[in-house]
Amino acid sequence: MLEGFHDVAWLARTRAEGDVAAWLALIPYARRIGVGAAPDPQGEGLIFRLAPEEGNVGNVLLPALHGGVVAAFMETAATLDLMLAAREPRLPRIVDFAIDYLRTARVAPTYARCALLREGRRLANVHVSAWQASEAEPVATARLHFVLATLEGDA
């Protein structure tokens, strides 16, 4: 079977190794918009990065990034961060997503940090903040709910 998120052994192994790059390799849309991740130099978690690619522009007059692309970046960050931070290897499925746009996202590198506010037996709540020049001045914040699927050995 093709390796992937449904493969519990693969998910457990990549998670133990913190191999977020292996996860991103299986997410074509995240690759298209240029999502990357690196360890947070000031903590234990990850800082996610959205590349300022020409294809991510949503307003050519300003110019500014497409708000929907920023949203997709933040959803990707929340999903991967949750897979890494959860108590056990589980596959999150998004239930709903809410984003507030606070400032114009210029065509510049965009960063995101996630906080797992609650991890229940079936549901998780993740908060995401995205910024460009300064983390103290976010361009957007988002809140996501996920259902956490328990992986079967033969799934």
Partner 1 sequence: MNQREPAEANAAVSAEAWQRALTRFVTVIPHTRGLGLEVVAVDPPEVLLRLPWHDDLLGDAARGLVHGGVLTMLLDTACGSSVLCALPSPEVCPTLDLRVDHYRPAVAGQPLWVRARALRVTASMVFTEGTLWQASAERPVARGIGNFVRLGARNTPPGFARALFAEEDDHA
DSSP states of 82-132: HHHHSSS-EEEEEEEEEEEE-S---SS-EEEEEEEEEE-SSEEEEEEEEES
Q: At what angle do helices 8-16 and 67-85 cross, to 10 degrees?
A: 90
Cβ closer to partner 1: 104 or 150? 104
**Minimum CB distance to partner 1, residue 49 (Å):** 15
Angle at 86 between CA 8 and CA 43, to 5 degrees: 125
d(CA 155, CA 137): 43
Cβ closer to partner 1: 54 or 152? 54
Cβ closer to partner 1: 45 or 58? 58
Cβ closer to partner 1: 115 or 147? 147
For residue 146, the 8-state DSSP code is E
**Minimum CB distance to partner 1, residue 121 (Å):** 20
**Minimum CB distance to partner 1, residue 70 (Å):** 9
Binding site for partner 1 (CB under 8 A): 2-7, 26-32, 54-61, 66-69, 71-73, 75-76, 93-101, 104
C-alpha torsion sign, points 140, 47, 117, 155: positive
**Minimum CB distance to partner 1, residue 130 (Å):** 13
